[in-house]
C-alpha cells in the first residue's frame, strides 16, 4: 500500500468537520513552530502574523476551490477563466461601494453600503458567467477552457483600459480606475470595527503577549473568511445533495443518458456555471480586495491555475477535498516556502546576486553559495514545486486526496455487493 493510500485511509476514518478543522489546526501549528523557531522574543507577534496571513490565503483559495469544484468536479465544466469572474465580482463591489467623494486622484463610486456591494458583485459575476456560458457550453471541454481563459483576459484588459477609468452615466461619475485600480469600502473594515468595538478586551489581552493590532485584525479577517467558507460549504452541500445536484452528477457521468431521461442539461449547466461564478466573484472581493483596493494586476490568469492546483491536490468532486486541497496548497506549497526562505539564513554566507556566481562556488567544492542562492530565491522555486506536484498528482494520484469520494449520481449504490474472492460465502 502506498503512502498516499494509507494517508487516504486515515483521512477516511475521520468525520469531515473534524478532518477540516484538524487540517487547518495542523497548518496553524506548523506556522506557530516556525514563528517560535525564528522569532526569538517576538515570537507571539510573528506567529499571529503568519497564522493570520495563512488563514486569509486558505479561506480565499477554499472559496475559489469550492466554486470550481461545483463547476468542474460536479458538472465537468472546465472553466479556466476564474480570474476574470473574480475581477467582475471585485470590480462591481468596488464601483458600488467606493465613496462618492474620494481622496484626490482616486475614482469616485456610488457610495452604497458594503452588503449591497457584495450582493451586487455576486449577481454581476453570475450574470456575466451566464452570458459567457450561454454560447460556450456547446463546446468540447478543452475548447471551453480556451474560451474562458480568453474571456478572462478580455475582462482584465477592459478594466485595465483607461477609457473606463472614470466615466459618467446620467450625471453620476464612477469608473474602474484603469491600471491604477480603485479603492473602496472593504470587508476588512468589518474586522477592524469588530476589534475596535466589541473586541477591545481581546486586543488588550493580545497586546499583553505582544501581538500587534494589525496582525490581530488580519487574523480576525482570516477567521471571518473561514466562516464564509463554512457557509459556502453548507450551501454547496445542500445544492449537491438535492435533486438538482443529482442531475449535475448525472451530467458528469453521462450527459447523453441524462438528456434522454428528459433533463434539459444545458439549463442545468448554465445554472451551475452561474452559481460557481457568483461564488468566484465573492472570493474576488473578499480575498483579492481585502485591503480595500483592487487593480487589474491582481486578476492575471495565473491565479486561476493556482485554484486548479488546489482543487486537484484536494481531489475534484469532493467539497471537503476542495477545502483540504486549498489549505494544503496555500499553507504548505504557497506560503510556507516563502516564509522559510525569508527566515532561514546560512550563517554568514551571503546569497550571490546571480546564478553564475552561485554555481562558481561549486568549482571550489563550496556548495554554500548555490544553497544560499536557492534559499533566497525560494519564492520563485515554490512555483516549480507547485508545477511538479501538479504533474505528479495527475500522473499517479489523479483523484487527489479525497477525489475517490466522488459521489455517485444514484441515491443508492449500484456497485456489486462486496463478497469474498468469489464462490460460496456461507460455508
Q: Give the phi and the psi of residue 169 in degrees, each rounded to 5.
A: -125, 125
Q: Does the protein bind another protein through residue 313 (CB under 8 A)? A: no
Q: Does the protein bind another protein through residue 105 (CB under 8 A)? A: no
Q: Does the protein bind another protein through residue 2 (CB under 8 A)? A: no
Which of 61-69, 145-153, 279-287, 411-419 is the region at the interface with another protein (rule: CB under 8 A)? 145-153
* Of 271, 278, 329, nearest in space to 77 by CA: 271
The 3-state secondary structure of 57-106, one letter per residue: HHHHHHHHHHHHHHHHHHCCCCCCCHHHHHHHHHHHHHHHHCCCCCCCCC
Q: Does the protein bind another protein through residue 9 (CB under 8 A)? A: no
Mask for 391-420, x = binds another protein (CB under 8 A): x--xx--x----------------------
Q: Does the protein bind another protein through residue 4 (CB under 8 A)? A: no
C-alpha 279/C-alpha 59 separation (Å) is: 13
By CB under 8 A, the count of residues binding another protein is: 44
What beta strand segments (E) does 271-409 contain?
A: 293-294
Which of 52-60, 95-103, 153-161, 201-209 is the region at the interface with another protein (rule: CB under 8 A)? 153-161
Q: Does the protein bind another protein through residue 370 (CB under 8 A)? A: no
Chosen residue from 127, 158, 190, 203 binding another protein by CB under 8 A: 158
Of the pair 396, 411, the CB lying nearest another protein is at 396
* Cα angle value 77/285/266 (rounded, 5°): 20
C-alpha 310/C-alpha 305 separation (Å) is: 9
Of the pair 31, 402, the CB lying nearest another protein is at 402
Q: Does the protein bind another protein through residue 209 (CB under 8 A)? A: no
Q: Does the protein bind another protein through residue 303 (CB under 8 A)? A: no
Mask for 60-89, x = binds another protein (CB under 8 A): ------------------x-----------
Which of 205-213, 340-348, 380-388, 403-411 is the region at the interface with another protein (rule: CB under 8 A)? 380-388
Helix 243-253 × helix 265-283 angle, to 10°: 110
Q: Looking at residues 328 to 367 of the shown chain, list those that interact with another protein (rule: CB under 8 A).
A: 354-357, 360
Helix 368-376 × helix 378-396 angle, to 10°: 80
Of the pair 206, 370, the CB lying nearest another protein is at 370
C-alpha 129/C-alpha 144 separation (Å) is: 13
CB 403 within 8 A of CB 317: yes
Residues 6+ apart with CB under 8 A from 284: 85, 86, 87, 88, 89, 90, 121, 125, 294, 299
Chosen residue from 38, 145, 202, 338 binding another protein by CB under 8 A: 145
C-alpha 201/C-alpha 205 separation (Å) is: 6
The bridge status of strand 182-183 relative to strand 293-294 is: antiparallel
Per CB under 8 A, residues contacting another protein are 78, 135-136, 139, 141-143, 145-147, 149-151, 153-154, 157-158, 160-163, 305, 308-309, 312, 354-357, 360, 377, 380-381, 383-384, 386-391, 394-395, 398
Amino acid at each position: 500500500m502506498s503512502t498516499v493510500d494509507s494517508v487516504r485511509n486515515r483521512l477516511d476514518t475521520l468525520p469531515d468537520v473534524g478532518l477540516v478543522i484538524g487540517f487547518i489546526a495542523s497548518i496553524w501549528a506548523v506556522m506557530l513552530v516556525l514563528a517560535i523557531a525564528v522569532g526569538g522574543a517576538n515570537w507571539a507577534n510573528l506567529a499571529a502574523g503568519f497564522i493570520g496571513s495563512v488563514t486569509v490565503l486558505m479561506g480565499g483559495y477554499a472559496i475559489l476551490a469550492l466554486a470550481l469544484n461545483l463547476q468542474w468536479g460536479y458538472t465537468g465544466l472546465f472553466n479556466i477563466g476564474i480570474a476574470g469572474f473574480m475581477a467582475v465580482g471585485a470590480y462591481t463591489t468596488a464601483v458600488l461601494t467606493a465613496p462618492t467623494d474620494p481622496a484626490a486622484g482616486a475614482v469616485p463610486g456610488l457610495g452604497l453600503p458594503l452588503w449591497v456591494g457584495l450582493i451586487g458583485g455576486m449577481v454581476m459575476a453570475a450574470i456575466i458567467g451566464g452570458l459567457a456560458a450561454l454560447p460556450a457550453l456547446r463546446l468540447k471541454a478543452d475548447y471551453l477552457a480556451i474560451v474562458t481563459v480568453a474571456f478572462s483576459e478580455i475582462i482584465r484588459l477592459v478594466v485595465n483600459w483607461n477609457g473606463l477609468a472614470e466615466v459618467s452615466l446620467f450625471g453620476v461619475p464612477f469608473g474602474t480606475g484603469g491600471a491604477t485600480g480603485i479603492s473602496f469600502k472593504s470587508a476588512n473594515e468589518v474586522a477592524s470595527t469588530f476589534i475596535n468595538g466589541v473586541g477591545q478586551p481581546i486586543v488588550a489581552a493580545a497586546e499583553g503577549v505582544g501581538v500587534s493590532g494589525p496582525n490581530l485584525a488580519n487574523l480576525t479577517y482570516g477567521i471571518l473568511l473561514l466562516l464564509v467558507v463554512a457557509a459556502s460549504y453548507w450551501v454547496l452541500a445542500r445544492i449537491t445533495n438535492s435533486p438538482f445536484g443529482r442531475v449535475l452528477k448525472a451530467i458528469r457521468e453521462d450527459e447523453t443518458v441524462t438528456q434522454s431521461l428528459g433533463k434539459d442539461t444545458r439549463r442545468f449547466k448554465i445554472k451551475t456555471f452561474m452559481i460557481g461564478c457568483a461564488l468566484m466573484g465573492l472570493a474576488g472581493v473578499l480575498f483579492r480586495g481585502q485591503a480595500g483596493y483592487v487593480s487589474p494586476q491582481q486578476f492575471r490568469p495565473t491565479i486561476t491555475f493556482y485554484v486548479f492546483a488546489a482543487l486537484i491536490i484536494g481531489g475534484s468532486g469532493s467539497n471537503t477535498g476542495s477545502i483540504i486541497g486549498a489549505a494544503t496548497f496555500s499553507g504548505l506549497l504557497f506560503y510556507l516556502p516563502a516564509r522559510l526562505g525569508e527566515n532561514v539564513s546560512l550563517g554568514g554566507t551571503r546569497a550571490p546576486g546571480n546564478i553564475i556566481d552561485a554555481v562558481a562556488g561549486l568549482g571550489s567544492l563550496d556548495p554554500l553559495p548555490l544553497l544560499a542562492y536557492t534559499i533566497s530565491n525560494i519564492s520563485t522555486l515554490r512555483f516549480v514545486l507547485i508545477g511538479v506536484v501538479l504533474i505528479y498528482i495527475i500522473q499517479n494520484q489523479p483523484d487527489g486526496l479525497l477525489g475517490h469520494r466522488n459521489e455517485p449520481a444514484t441515491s443508492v449504490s449500484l456497485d456489486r455487493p462486496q463478497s469474498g474472492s468469489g464462490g460460496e460465502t456461507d460455508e
